[in-house]
Chains A and B, each alone.
Chain A
């Protein structure tokens, strides 16, 4: 699947060592895929493609010239220079051979999902280590619900130009990072066509019990749960035996569905409202994915997941986002354990010890 010039790398081919080629976001997706964690399929347009493009069109000279006299403190000058560079990039077409590679990869992604003009998300993925941590790195452009060959190429092109937003330029100046060596990769990933979706904790968020997984699920996209619009189905799974210990089926009367360039709310047909929106096999698959993600990151996770309409089970069970769960267990500091104002820490501890003895 690897393309001839290494302009394209599928997520399966990405890992940490490919970071200079595919950037942090894509490398992370690759690491997840290689750890057996299912994410929406896609590929990276590598920094090599961008470099080839910049070299061929001698655009680096223009970057250097435009920014040579600009200081980071001069907001107006940065803005003017940034706009000029972005304009120069956008008016320089992407070489045919790179375009062909992107389109070929996109076509094969469409075929894989059995959807013509498959909607995808196109995101920039920064390759400079120091840029990845910068808070604005995530603000480099992301284009959702893009479909069709020309649109995908165009969104990629716009991501490239986003390397020279005013903020990015200023940041590089401040940290002394050269403007003319910086590279960017672009990730192109299937938009989830969500049949059912929800959230999962790889512990019991109430008791902090790490032997359990809890899953909430609803029809359509996950926003209905996140926004608290429905009472979702609720499952508790025991990790060790991978068996469902408890399932409560909720009333799911609304759902977000894909329409045009986004999602809209629609009512759920009445006969579907109170039946489970995921099968037992799907619940187990989601739980298994949760355990893999927890293992991958070494800490309990709060995961957004979705089941895709376009792919067969189990390939259709995706993690769309995960973050570590903060603090296991509830927090319940109530009277009797609270220190009163003016009392010393030591005296309070002694009081608590004495209370313990008199239990």
Chain B
């Protein structure tokens, strides 16, 4: 039996693909470490589809979304530029109408999408993966594929729209007020809003208070999160508390530990990460500090808004205020969409794959339900209805081996045609005016400032200066090690990391942009954050004292 590529049709082919585009960028935010083949298949197919759908639905004048390829577990992307001037003009005309709902009716637009997705999720969950027939299970899998496709359509339609507004607002601020998106006043204008992710965190904080009341706080505090779970099960109060936690997780625990991967348990399956969050709150003690921070931030936002509006000519304040309002939605959207879109869909992807996987194990097709992550949907389709007599172990074995190979090396940050430099490639990116490329995935490139004599140069994600011991975290399971006052150093951060920020003095990430998770959440917690330092996790070691200068976007290693 011939074994197909991991993502048939979209495997990177140097010869063909470098002809199509001379520069392909690694999506380091999502595909480091490398993806399992099944997840890669979902992402490469449907994120790609969603971006093209979103760019087309909005008729963005300069870009028709991105093309994606899969290479050694990495997602590589390039931009579909609109080259023809006439076509641009045509697209501009359609854009004029397509963007209107974002400005006039944002809340309903997003609200309707959220409701639509919650409906899909409810339908997918109505299939009981333990008792469903093989036919029902395959139907659930096909439905999951369709829901994933739809999720990416919504995701990218929204994201292109809000990021376009954000970029415009930043440009207006730059031109008229001389402040860009790294300026503290700019941050003040946009922060201090609640969102769904913070809401879930608040519920977890309440559970930390409850744990204190029930006298089981020490069990959580004195154990690693995983051991705490076992210890809580041994204890009557602990059991009762876990039941309450499960009620919360059944509703809001449909999230992955790693945002873009399905090979780790969801919070519903394994509450360990939720317990780790509770532990962070217990370590901090006191009130839910995001709420306290938010009060101050909301007040500063009002002051900054007033301050800025005074500078806006009176007859221009109407549109300026509308645009500011839309830009303010961007931060909230950036956090919330992960909860309602990616994380929830990925959790249900895992659920469906494992549901089928259990049947395949029972029928002797594979050894472990999670082996399905090393199959392709077509292979799943071939064996789900009648698994009897099939054996896919050789496929799983080979792909797993391949995947382990991907994980043992690093994917290059870009694949370039001969004679094409990284600078050329960045030029194309900027020329695309692609809002997502500029503000989420690639970010601004750091400019070294020799006069500061810093060890790492990045850009300002959140202002302020802080010093403390570095804590280099490569994966979520290590978060448990974070101590109060640490400075977090990571490749990037994900929504489930948010509660940790309450313990931190500062944040340094290898990759990110002003609308990436680490920057947004740092601003909400009022701690300095430097993004896009590229080599933070390579150069900094846990325990070293470092100084994060958010204002200047640089990091100093104090003891080398």
Residue from B61, B95, B176 within 8 A of A333 (CB atoms): B176
The interface bits of chain A over 331-358 (1 if a CB of B lies within 8 angstroms of the residue's CB, else 0) are 1111001110100011011101110111
Residue ID in chain A nearest B321 by CB atoms:
A345
Residue from B95, B310, B319 within 8 A of A345 (CB atoms): B319
Instruction: Provide the residues of chain A in CB contact with B167, threshold 8 Å.
Output: 356
Instruction: Provide the residues of chain A in CB contact with B62, threshold 8 Å.
Output: 357-358
Pair B178/A357 contact, Cβ less than 8 Å: no
Residue ID in chain B nearest A352 by CB atoms:
B168
Instruction: Provide the residues of chain B in CB contact with A337, threshold 8 Å.
Output: 172, 175-176
B67 is an interface residue with CB less than 8 A from chain A:
no
Instruction: Provide the residues of chain A in CB contact with B177, threshold 8 Å.
Output: 208, 327-332
Bound: A354/B167 CA distance, A: 12
User: Interface residues of A toward B: which range?
Assistant: 20 to 34
A207 is an interface residue with CB less than 8 A from chain B:
yes
Pair A332/B176 contact, Cβ less than 8 Å: yes
Residue ID in chain B nearest A346 by CB atoms:
B103
Residue from A211, A330, A334, A348 within 8 A of B178 (CB atoms): A330
Q: How many A-B residue pairs have CB under 8 A?
A: 111
Instruction: Provide the residues of chain B in CB contact with A210, threshold 8 Å.
Output: 184, 463, 551
What is the minimal beta-carbon distance from B112 to any residue of chain A, in angstroms? Answer: 19
Bound: A330/B178 CA distance, A: 6
B335 is an interface residue with CB less than 8 A from chain A:
no
Pair A331/B184 contact, Cβ less than 8 Å: no
User: Interface residues of B toward A: which range?
Assistant: 35 or more
Instruction: Provide the residues of chain B in CB contact with A259, threshold 8 Å.
Output: none
Pair A353/B164 contact, Cβ less than 8 Å: yes
| Given the contacts A346-B103, A354-B95, A208 and B318 also touching, CB distance less than 8 Å | no
Pair B549/A240 contact, Cβ less than 8 Å: yes
Q: Is the interface of B mostly helix, strand, loop or mixed?
A: helix
Pair B103/A350 contact, Cβ less than 8 Å: yes
Pair A349/B92 contact, Cβ less than 8 Å: no
B245 is an interface residue with CB less than 8 A from chain A:
no
What is the minimal beta-carbon distance from B60 to any residue of chain A, in angstroms? Answer: 7
Pair B316/A349 contact, Cβ less than 8 Å: no
Instruction: Provide the residues of chain B in CB contact with A327, threshold 8 Å.
Output: 177, 307-308, 310-311
Instruction: Provide the residues of chain B in CB contact with A328, threshold 8 Å.
Output: 177, 179, 183-185, 307
Instruction: Provide the residues of chain B in CB contact with A206, threshold 8 Å.
Output: 178
Instruction: Provide the residues of chain B in CB contact with A332, threshold 8 Å.
Output: 175-178
Pair A329/B310 contact, Cβ less than 8 Å: no
Sampled A-B contacts (24; CB under 8 Å): A206-B178, A208-B179, A208-B185, A210-B551, A240-B551, A327-B307, A327-B308, A327-B311, A329-B185, A332-B177, A332-B178, A333-B176, A337-B172, A337-B176, A345-B322, A346-B319, A346-B322, A348-B319, A354-B92, A354-B96, A356-B164, A356-B171, A357-B92, A358-B88
- Residue numbers of A with Cβ under 8 A of B are 206-208, 210-211, 240, 299, 326-334, 337-339, 341, 345-346, 348-350, 352-354, 356-359
Given A328-B179, A333-B312, A333-B313, 14 more contacts at CB 8 Å?
A207-B178, A208-B178, A211-B551, A211-B552, A240-B552, A299-B303, A331-B177, A339-B315, A339-B318, A346-B319, A349-B322, A354-B95, A357-B61, A357-B433
> 5 smallest A-B Cβ distances: which pairs?
A331-B311, A329-B178, A345-B319, A327-B307, A357-B61
